[in-house]
Amino acid sequence: GAVVSQHPSWVICKSGTSVKIECRSLDFQATTMFWYRQFPKQSLMLMATSNEGSKATYEQGVEKDKFLINHASLTLSTLTVTSAHPEDSSFYICSAKDRGGGSPLHFGNGTRLTVT
Amino acid sequence: AQTVTQSQPEMSVQEAETVTLSCTYDTSESNYYLFWYKQPPSRQMILVIRQEAYKQQNATENRFSVNFQKAAKSFSLKISDSQLGDTAMYFCAYLLTTSGTYKYIFGTGTRLKVLA
């Protein structure tokens, strides 16, 4: 089946530094990738939609200058949390959609970010 | 606006018994896709089942089946012969397609605990 690799699985960083999270589709071409944030015991909150070769579309309330998304190829999207603060600590999940109108999302394993 | 509602925050079921998780959604579209995802304690999102709205036949995957009532906009998940490994958060999701763009809308989730 379709595999999405997300790296790192966890990261601890100091306040004010930047962190990059990678999301790769290993055996299919992902024309669209989605970045979610999940708070404990809550649902997935869509942050942005990333299309290969174009600018990401951010959801309302998500700071695009803080959460930089790059989708440079059909198999790689990155999320960079810039100038991280403790309130950015969360679980971030990427997912990818392959070709086909009604295809399901394939999810990465998630990244737990802790900002100290 | 499209919304997905899961009215049962938590449920429990005895091992080997059957349990049904409810999901309702709101849409003005005639063709769309619905999904159930499972998120075990590992937090990896796993696709359980997929339903195409234009197909009247309910989708089935081994012990998992859905009761899709299009007119009522209801999409419940039935788990038969529940196993301890079914303990997880279950999310219902709706795929919205608009002018070639895609957005997956998730419900708030139902936490299912299978009891030994």
Residues B19-38 have a mean pLDDT of: 93
3-state secondary structure of A84: coil
What is the mean pLDDT for each group of 10 consecutive residues in chain A (116 residues)?
A: 92 97 92 92 91 88 94 91 96 89 88 97
Q: 3-state secondary structure string, A4-54?
A: EEEECCEEEECCCCCEEEEEEECCCCCCEEEEEEECCCCCEEEEEEEECCC
CB pair distance less than 8 Å for A110 and B102: no
Residue A2, pLDDT score: 81
- pLDDT at residue B71 greater than cutoff 80: yes
Given an 8 Å threshold on Cβ–Cβ distance, is B111 in contact with A41? yes
User: Given a cut of 90, is residue B84 above it in pLDDT?
Assistant: yes
Q: Do B102 and A32 touch (CB under 8 A)?
A: yes
Average confidence (pLDDT) over B87-92: 97
Confidence of residue B31 (pLDDT cuts 50, 70, 90): confident
Kindly determine whether residue A102 and residue B107, on different chains, have CB atoms separated by under 8 Å.
Answer: no
Instruction: Assess A96–B contact: CB distance below 8 Å, yes or no.
Output: no
Closest CA to B75 of B110, B51, B111: B51
**DSSP character for A108?**
-
Label residue B56 by pLDDT band (50, 70, 90): confident
Instruction: Write out chain B residues lying below 8 Å of A4, CB-based.
Output: none
pLDDT value at residue B97? 78
Tell me the two tokens of residue B39. Answer: 């998120």
Confidence class for position B79, pLDDT limits 50, 70, 90: very high
CB atoms inside a 10 Å sphere around CB B116: 5
User: What is the rounded average pLDDT for all residues in chain B?
Assistant: 93
The count of CB pairs under 8 A between chains A and B is: 52
Q: What are the counts of helices (DSSP H) followed by strands (DSSP E) for chain B?
A: 0, 12
CB-nearest to B44 from A42, A104, A109 is A109
- B95 CB neighbours in chain A (<8 A) are 102
Cα–Cα distance, A3 to B88 (Å, whole number): 21
Q: How do beta strands B101-106 and B88-98 pair?
A: antiparallel
Instruction: Please say if the pLDDT value at position B115 is more than 90.
Output: yes
Burial (CB < 10 A; 0-12, 13-18, 19+), residue A89, is middle
Residue B98 has pLDDT above 80, yes or no: no
On chain B, the residues whose CB falls within 8 A of the CB of A104 are: 33, 35, 47, 50
